[in-house]
Structure 1
Amino acid sequence: MSNIIGIVDYGIAGNLYSIQKAIEQAGGLVKIISNEQDFYIVDKIVLPGVGSFKDAMIRFSKDNFLEILKTSIAIKPTLGICLGMQLLCKFGFEHGKTDGLGMISGEVQPLLIDEKLPHMGFNKICVIKPNKLLKGIENEEFYFMHSYEVINLDNVIATTKYADRSFVSAILKDNIYGVQFHPEKSKEPGIQLFRNFISLGE
């Protein structure tokens, strides 16, 4: 049985190759998804992301990725990372309201807090619903770098506190996971998260 992890390359995801390296370090076999046909080859999907919600959605439309991406996410184990998690939502409000992929019920709003932004550096997660992705790393710190948060969500599995505000740091809906942090920059806990993702379904 194959277990190929496909990382979606949509042109603006600056963390793509660091994710590839981390997944390979975790023992995974990686395929970079750069065209529609690649979606049929892979068994799991990673949606990376660094940058603007609006720019990412424009790029999906230009690359004709949108429908095949949504169809693939609906049926294959998927992990959205940082912006990649945010793109799974219905709407984003960065540079105006933009439709997201609509795979989960949340929307993406600015992180409203009287503290330095972006929220950057290592911070602890608080797992509020046991799950396979975060198994064994429930009390670890992960690397964050973001100024927006996912809100109005029913599928929260972990939160994180920054100053006086708790925000969503991980979600799960059916086969779709999302993390607001960067596991590829989170040392051994991040590698273990990728091991857990690779082993889903085994």
Structure 2
Amino acid sequence: MIAIVDYGVGNLFSLSSSLRALGLSPEVTADADRLRAAERIILPGVGAFGDAKAKLEATGLIPVLREESEKKPLLGICLGMQLLFDKGFEYGEHAGLGLIPGVVDSLRPDLKDPALKVPHMGWNSLRILRDDPLLRYFQDGEYVYYVHSFYAKDCAASTLAVSDYGGASVTGAVRRGNVWGTQFHPEKSGDAGLRLLKAFGEL
């Protein structure tokens, strides 16, 4: 069973549907015991960093996520990935879960072309920097789907793959121990995204 953390933010239906299409068994839950019983955990997320962190805190699940990440694979998606880091600077400074060293800051100042739109939204190619089981079915240069205005920085040691957007090297996928994250949405990334979720189901 793959537990999808339900804390009021995230594209739960599309993610659950994608996992079921792969023959996996997702369960959307906010129950600590179900997270402990799961073989793997996915932390989704859309919206603003501070608001999402507050909602996650309100569930009381943060200590459980930290404990379980020591024992089993945990995947953060989009804002869920951003929450894995030490802190985020979206509408103020907010502490993250501290599972991966680094910070989440605005994409806009790092763009070489000021005419480019923020959020970074749509398809972009993914450049793989190091081999990892999560990317075992991926080929370098495949396209994935992004929707975000902030991105992870100061996390080179954990970065698995990046995408270029206007000269900014957008952190696309990360890993530290049992904890993985993708800034892009695998559930919106067509066949490539399904292959990534398949790999996660095999970790």
The TM tier, using the shorter chain, reads over 0.9
- The structural deviation recorded for 1:138 is 2.5
The residue identity in structure 2 corresponding to 1:5 is I
Partner residue, 1:5: 2
RMSD over aligned Cα, in angstroms?
Answer: 1.0
Q: How does 1:51-200 map to 2 (within 5 A)?
A: 51-112=47-108, 113=111, 114=114, 115-139=116-140, 140-153=142-155, 154-200=157-203
Per-residue CA deviation, residues 56-90 of structure 1 (Å, 9 max, x unaligned), is: 11112211112112111232101110101100000
Structure 1: 5+ residue stretches without partners: none
- The structural deviation recorded for 1:136 is 2.5
Question: Matches of 2:52 and 2:61 in 1, distance apart?
Answer: 11
Question: Matches of 1:59 and 1:155 in 2, distance apart?
Answer: 26
- The structural deviation recorded for 1:48 is 0.4
The residue identity in structure 1 corresponding to 2:143 is E
- The structural deviation recorded for 1:26 is 1.6
Query: Percent identical across equivalent pairs?
Result: 37
Question: Matches of 2:32 and 2:132 in 1, distance apart?
Answer: 31
The residue identity in structure 2 corresponding to 1:102 is G
The residue identity in structure 2 corresponding to 1:147 is S
Following TM superposition, the consecutive aligned residue runs of length 4 or more in structure 1 with deviations greater than 3 angstroms are none
**How many residue pairs get matched?**
196
Q: Could you tell me whether the CA contact under 8 Å between 2:42 and 2:76 is conserved in 1?
A: yes
Q: TM-score, normalised by structure 1?
A: 0.94
Q: TM-score, normalised by structure 2?
A: 0.93
Question: Matches of 1:16 and 1:102 in 2, distance apart?
Answer: 24
